Amino acid sequence: MHGPWMALRSLSSDQSVKHQKLKPGTFNRILQFAKPYRRYLLVFMATVVIDATLVVATPLLLRSLVDDGVIPGRGDIVTKLALAVALLAIADAGFSALGRWFSSRIGEGLIYDLRSQVFEHVQKQSIAFFTRTQTGSLISRINSDVIGAQQAFTSTLSGVVSNSLTLVLVAIAMLTLSWQITVISLLLLPIFMVPTKWIGKKLAGYTRRSFELNAQMSSTMTERFNVSGALLVSLYGDGAGESQNFRGKARSVADMGIKIAMLNRIFFIAMTSVAAVATAVAYGVGGHLAINDQITIGTLLAITALLARLYGPLTALSNVRVDVMSALVSFERVFEVFDLVPMVRDSVVTKVIPPGMPKVEFNNVVFAYPSAKEISLASLEGAAKEEVPDSGIVIDGISFTCKPGSFTAIVGPSGAGKSTISSLIPRLYDVTNGAILINGIDIRDSKIDDLRRLIGVVTQDSHMFHESIESNLRYAKVDATENEIWAACDLAQIGGFVRSLPNKLETVVGERGHRLSGGEKQRLAIARLLLKAPSIVILDEATAHLDSENEALVQEALKVALIGRTSIVIAHRLSTVVHADQILVLDGGKIVETGRHEELVAKGGLYFDLFQRQSLGLSEQQSSTD
């Protein structure tokens, strides 16, 4: 019954793929991926052909064993043919195992190639891509669609060849043995096909719904089991309500599983019954033919054995278009990701940024965030909708220069464009117009990797991987020695804390560093920056969410980090930038004031208003404390 089960899996596939049209050139691109495995494919297909031939050979040998050996009483022939049947069975097992090895080699190789290339390509995408893409959908491309794609060269290809060859050989053998039984057997085919088609259609719907329900249940677990979600549930959630909500989703998954299991069992019962009826008819008709000496008993036994190998391939081939299209569509979905050109990429001809302390220049820089069509795929965005309005101009023709080794502060109200500037310098985005120069070289003309090696960034919420402190620090410098790591920790005012931990540098920081306080995480981020030893330091509100005690420690660490480097600091708390060499005041994407702290306070403009407001707020806070 292996054939019918394969047929059921084929029939339960999503039938809608039959109506999808592939993009021109898809098939040629698929063949390019198969090229490294062409020798394996040839050997694999040879094993499939041999295996299909052996399916027919065994019943024919059994026919000779009965007619030429058992009935005439020729023991020698019985022994020889029985031994031949046994050897064929061993050979069949051997070729099956060999085919499986080549199939695995091809399949896993293709999965490895596709996953590696998709991962590498996605890593090159701009930050804008990740701000829109649903992580689960992207992971699905790397997992489910890649596996679906490799099936084109393993189960789908082998299934088509094996079923086609088996069907042809079985049909020829049966017609040769008895055309009467063969015709009657084919007339019974609709009895086999009707329940299979019906169950397959129902099962396709149930399977699709099962995937949806499992996705909903998994999404609930993912959201509740990460640190942020667990914290929200603890503070605001209703434990009983959460359990009831999850139980409802889990119950739906279980109920759907029961329906699928019952359909599979009904299919098995139906196929067993149909096979029994077909065998009974064959024995009935063949028995009468044998009595009338129109066929031999060996022929009757051989033809009933072949009958069991007829319906499975016929049913599977009736749905071959769905199998092939499912695999091709999976390839096309993977190619969609490959075809998404990174918004930020190296130019054809690159230039080297001259060595020395960097001078950073903004020359009439204009920036507007790119539209969804430029940076992402709708199919990766979940509930993405067409965006009619664009983001508008975020940075509007600004120009300024950061002298080598200087400390430049950028301040302004929320939404003024401060953080956008910090994203443009390391080319997380490219400017829309104008240019950013480092030592006279437009950063778009330099290699991205070379540019980013010069730059170290600390944001207001520095990310940590769910790994050890040492692993998170080595991310900045893979070959850092332990002494270098401890030196960076000490300079960042975090060395004493790390030494106090039971596992010291081997301590795992937890998801997104949640096992650390905000101040501890920021000081580790500064230690990471010091290990990298960049020439340009960008601080994007690195102390915005810290209490006064932690802020003091972080500020002490930052003093060390800024020494001997060209520094650009985005600041919310103006008290942290009063000693800056220059302060740029942004409002509405434009620089409205420039100068040192004393000069800007004396002007009585926007900076003075911001500073006075913060000073007043601080005074009120101190009064309430007193």
- Domain presence at residue 417: no
Mean pLDDT for each 10-residue chunk of the chain (626 residues)? 48 49 69 82 85 84 84 84 87 85 82 81 76 67 70 72 82 84 77 69 72 72 69 66 82 84 75 76 83 84 80 68 68 76 82 87 88 64 50 83 90 83 87 90 89 85 82 85 88 86 85 76 85 87 66 74 85 80 88 88 85 60 44
Amino acid at 252: S
Closest Cα partner for 581 from 565, 599, 563, 595? 595
> How far is residue 318 from each of residues 211, 277, 580, 590, measured CA to CA in Å?
25, 22, 76, 66
Separation of CA 105 from chain center: 22
Phi and psi at residue 12, to the nearest 5°: -85, 0
> How far is residue 451 from each of residues 305, 442, 456, 512, measured CA to CA in Å?
71, 11, 10, 26
Alpha helices in 188-238 (DSSP H): 189-225, 227-236
CB 393 within 8 A of CB 563: no
Alpha helices in 445-603 (DSSP H): 448-453, 469-474, 482-491, 495-500, 518-532, 548-562, 597-603
- Domain presence at residue 475: no
Closest Cα partner for 582 from 416, 360, 406? 406
Quickly list DSSP for 20-63: --PPTTHHHHHHHHHGGGHHHHHHHHHHHHHHHHHHHHHHHHHH
pLDDT in the model for residue 318 = 64
pLDDT in the model for residue 364 = 92
* C-alpha–C-alpha distance, residues 369 and 423, integer Å: 11
- Domain presence at residue 74: yes
The range of the structural domain enclosing residue 235 comes to 2-338
CB 153 within 8 A of CB 107: yes
Strands annotated E in 375-442: 393-402, 407-411, 433-438, 441-442
**Residue 83: partners with Cβ closer than 8 Å, 6 or more residues away:** none
| Residue written as token pair 């430049």 | 408
| Residue written as token pair 């099956």 | 96
pLDDT in the model for residue 437 = 92
CATH of the domain at 306: 1.20.1560.10
Q: Cβ atoms within 10 A of the Cβ of 486, count?
A: 17
Q: Residue 446 region, left (φ>0) first, then alpha (ψ -120 to 50), else beta?
A: beta
CB 336 within 8 A of CB 26: no
- Domain presence at residue 401: no
- Domain presence at residue 368: no
Q: Cβ atoms within 10 A of the Cβ of 505, count?
A: 18
pLDDT in the model for residue 363 = 92
Closest Cα partner for 263 from 198, 318, 213, 349? 198
> How far is residue 528 from each of residues 131, 307, 472, 515, 566, measured CA to CA in Å?
24, 70, 8, 17, 17
* C-alpha–C-alpha distance, residues 543 and 23, integer Å: 51
- Domain presence at residue 410: no
Helix (H, G, I), strand (E, B) or coil at 461: coil
**Residue 325: partners with Cβ closer than 8 Å, 6 or more residues away:** 17, 18, 20
Q: Please tell me the total count of domains within the chain.
A: 1
The CB-based long-range contact list for 350-356 (8 Å cut-off, 24+ gap) reads 350/445, 350/446, 350/447, 350/450, 351/441, 351/442, 351/445, 351/446, 352/441, 352/446, 352/450, 353/438, 353/439, 353/441, 353/443, 353/446, 353/450, 353/451, 353/454, 354/439, 354/440, 354/441, 356/404, 356/439
- Domain presence at residue 303: yes
Closest Cα partner for 596 from 413, 368, 457, 406? 406
Beta bridge partners of 584: 410, 594
Q: What is the pTM of this model?
A: 0.68
- Domain presence at residue 25: yes
pLDDT in the model for residue 235 = 59
CA atoms within 13 A on the CB side of 271: 26
Amino acid at 601: V
Q: Cβ atoms within 10 A of the Cβ of 287, count?
A: 13
* C-alpha–C-alpha distance, residues 392 and 377, integer Å: 21
